[in-house]
Amino acid sequence: LLPGALSDRGQQMTLGVMGGGQLGRMFVQAAQAMGYFTAVLDPDPASPAGLISHFHIQTAYDDEQGLAQLMQRCDAITTEFENVPAPALVTLGAHRPVAPSAPCVAVAQDRIKEKAHFLACAPVSGVYPAPYAAIESDELLAAVPADLLPGILKTARMGYDGKGQMRVSTREELASAWEQLGRVPCVLEKMLPLQSECSVIVARGTNGQVVSFPVQANTHRDGILATTEVYEGAVPADLAERAQASTVAIANHLHYVGVLCVEYFVVDNGTGGQDLVVNEMAPRPHNSGHYTQNACDMSQFEAQVRTLAGLPLPQPRQHSPAIMVNLLGDLWFEPNATHAERSERAVTPPWTQVLALPGTHLHLYGKLSARPGRKMGHLNITAPTVAQVRETAAQVLQLLG
């Protein structure tokens, strides 16, 4: 599907995306930069991607007419979030190239299937998930091994940014947490003493070729990604190599096509060294890969376009040390404002001072209202040296409070 060519329907070559959030928006931007027309399916009339796309189909993700319109418009279709109903992708995939495929998305959107996949890959990847048990019935709940406590109970589906998770220390707490989560299928994971967290993004083409981006060191706050640092030494070289190899194995084993992100924990291995634990995967570009927009010669979104359109996929190269800082809705309010004051006391963050610093790249998602914890944008910071990028990031964080 060459950019700028007419499709066999005599229309401009058009790439579609299920979901209109910020990831869809940045996919649309990358596709448009290469000359593609774009179509977004998202029910929200003000969705960040819908606002800037050539076509915006405003229906539910499983609406037959909406899906038919999307297929009529598009030469190939991708997704920007894992909770797109897998049957919708099956429908689309029967008529158009869809990447990632419905079966891959189905694995990523269910923690029980996802962990089983990680276990299946472990003999090749050498990296295991945290000890866990699936909880789908009273019998399974009663059979949970005691050494999984204290643990974290996570809903099998629909969790993100720490939502749908409860920490539990005793069997009683576990039982009541499962009640509170509505007795939906869950996994109980052993709570691990994390030393740090990292993630890896790979892109895999229809021909099975895989390229990987550098390993990303992530810091979370309140269950939400706060910063990502990517430069030599941000993750110890031996762990970085293992994480990359494991991610490639996970993608290959699924015959994955598209951009895939896998998250890892770094833990103490009990003998003074460090070990990797695989946490979860996202069948799409990932917040921790946003630095690629300004620090690499191919962004994760361009990689998504290339894999979807069947374009060449050379190995991306990082040209600058980078730190990504997430911009949450909290920044739009005075620090000590009460909830009631928030609507009146909205402020604009200090962009003038931030953008005066060298190597700061502002990305805002065009969301029409700010809420605490809502992802409004991110800043990519680049510099010629690690020391400089860290220095600029420290200044940015001070300005943002």
**Shortest distance, position 87 Cβ to ligand ADP, whole Å:** 22
Amino acid at 330: D
Q: Flag whether 23 is marked binding.
A: no
Q: Flag whether 375 is marked binding.
A: no
Is the Cβ of residue 50 or residue 100 nearer to ligand ADP in the bound state? 100
**Shortest distance, position 63 Cβ to ligand ADP, whole Å:** 26
Is the Cβ of residue 31 or residue 187 nearer to ligand ADP in the bound state? 187
**Shortest distance, position 7 Cβ to ligand ADP, whole Å:** 36
Is the Cβ of residue 3 or residue 131 nearer to ligand ADP in the bound state? 131
- Binding residues (CB under 6 A) for ligand ADP: these are 130, 152, 154, 159-162, 189, 191-192, 194, 197, 220, 223, 263, 279-280
How many Å apart are CA 343 and CA 353, to the nearest integer?
24
Q: Flag whether 161 is marked binding.
A: yes
Q: Flag whether 208 is marked binding.
A: no
Q: How many CA atoms lie within 13 A of 195 on its CB side?
A: 15
Angle at 224 between CA 213 and CA 152, to 5 degrees: 105
**Shortest distance, position 20 Cβ to ligand ADP, whole Å:** 20
Is the Cβ of residue 53 or residue 155 nearer to ligand ADP in the bound state? 155
DSSP H or E segment with residue 38: strand 37-41
**Shortest distance, position 282 Cβ to ligand ADP, whole Å:** 9
Q: Flag whether 162 is marked binding.
A: yes
Is the Cβ of residue 95 or residue 157 nearer to ligand ADP in the bound state? 157
How many Å apart are CA 79 and CA 304, to the nearest integer?
10
Q: Flag whether 207 is marked binding.
A: no
**Shortest distance, position 157 Cβ to ligand ADP, whole Å:** 11
**Shortest distance, position 361 Cβ to ligand ADP, whole Å:** 25
User: Bridge partners of 12?
Assistant: 6
**Long-range contacts made by residues 156-162, C-beta under 8 angstroms, separation at least 24?**
156/110, 156/111, 156/112, 156/184, 156/185, 156/186, 156/187, 157/83, 157/109, 157/110, 157/111, 157/184, 157/185, 158/83, 158/109, 159/111, 161/223, 161/224, 161/225, 161/373, 162/220, 162/222, 162/223, 162/224
Q: Flag whether 191 is marked binding.
A: yes
Is the Cβ of residue 191 or residue 311 nearer to ligand ADP in the bound state? 191
For 120-257, strand residue ranges (E) read: 128-129, 132-135, 151-155, 165-168, 186-190, 194-204, 210-212, 216-221, 224-230
Q: Flag whether 342 is marked binding.
A: no
Is the Cβ of residue 81 or residue 213 nearer to ligand ADP in the bound state? 81
Distances (CA, A) of 7 to 13, 14, 156, 209: 5, 8, 40, 25
Cα Dmax for the chain: 64
Q: Flag whether 126 is marked binding.
A: no
Annotated binding site: 111, 154, 159-165, 189-192, 197, 220, 279-280
Annotated binding site for ATP: 111, 154, 159-165, 189-192, 197, 220, 279-280
